[in-house]
Structure 1
Amino acid sequence: MRERAPGFAVPAGATDTHMHIYDGGVPSAPGGPPLPGNFREDQYREMQQRLGLSRVIVVQPNAYQDDNRVTLAAIRALGAGAKGVGVVKPGVSEADIAWLTEGGIIAQRIFQLPWGAVGFDGMHDVMSRVHPAGWHANIQLDGRELPQWEDTIKKLPGNFVIDHVGKYIEPVTPEHESFKALLRLLDTGRCWVKLSAPYETSKTGAPNYEDVSRLARALAKHAPERMLWASNWPHPSAARDNTPDEADLMDLLLDWAPDEATRKKVLVDNPAKLYNFR
Structure 2
Amino acid sequence: MSVFDEPKIDCHAHVLDPARFPYSPQVAYHPSGQEIGTTAQHLEVMKTFGTHHTLLVQPNSGYGGDNGCMLDALRSYPDVFKGVAVVDLDAGVDTLSALKEQGVIGIAFNPTFHGVDYYRDAGALIGKLAELDMFLNLQYEHDQLRAFVPWIETIPVRVLIDHCGRPTVKDGLNQPGFRTLLDLAQTGRVHVKLSGYNKFSDAAYPFADCWPYVRALVQAFTLDRCLWASDWPYLRATDRQDYGPLVRLAETLFPDPADRRKLFWETPRQLFGFGG
**TM norm structure 1:** 0.87
Say what the alpha-carbon RMSD is for the aligned residues.
Answer: 2.4
Equivalent position of 2:194 in the other structure: 195
How many residues align? The count is 269
1:219-251 CA distance string (max 9 Å, x none): 123322100011111001115xx4211111122
Deviation at 1:209, TM superposition (A): 0.6
Please say which of residues 118-127 and 37-46 is displaced more in the overlay.
118-127
Deviation at 1:116, TM superposition (A): 7.2
Deviation at 1:78, TM superposition (A): 3.4
Equivalent position of 2:245 in the other structure: 248
Deviation at 1:95, TM superposition (A): 2.8
Q: Match for 2:210 among 184, 209, 212? A: 212
- Which of structure 1's runs of 4+ aligned residues deviate more than 4 A? 115-119
Deviation at 1:163, TM superposition (A): 0.4
**TM norm structure 2:** 0.88
Q: Secondary structure at the match of 1:91?
A: coil
**What is the rounded CA distance, in whole Å, between the counterparts of 2:240 and 2:179 in structure 1?**
31
Deviation at 1:147, TM superposition (A): 4.1
Q: Secondary structure at the match of 1:228?
A: strand
1:32-77 CA distance string (max 9 Å, x none): 3422134211111121111100011110110322221111001123
Equivalent position of 1:3 in the other structure: none
Identity of aligned residues (%): 28
Q: Does 1:34 align with 2:29?
A: yes
The one-letter code of the counterpart of 1:214 is P
Equivalent position of 1:238 in the other structure: 237
1:233-275 CA distance string (max 9 Å, x none): 1001115xx4211111122222332322221111111111221
Q: Does 1:11 align with 2:10?
A: no
The one-letter code of the counterpart of 1:193 is V
**What is the rounded CA distance, in whole Å, between the counterparts of 1:99 and 1:118 in structure 2?**
28
Deviation at 1:174, TM superposition (A): 2.2
Please say which of residues 247-256 and 180-189 is displaced more in the overlay.
247-256
Q: Match for 2:58 among 48, 60, 65? A: 60
Q: Secondary structure at the match of 2:184?
A: helix
Equivalent position of 1:159 in the other structure: 158
Q: Match for 2:268 among 254, 260, 271? A: 271
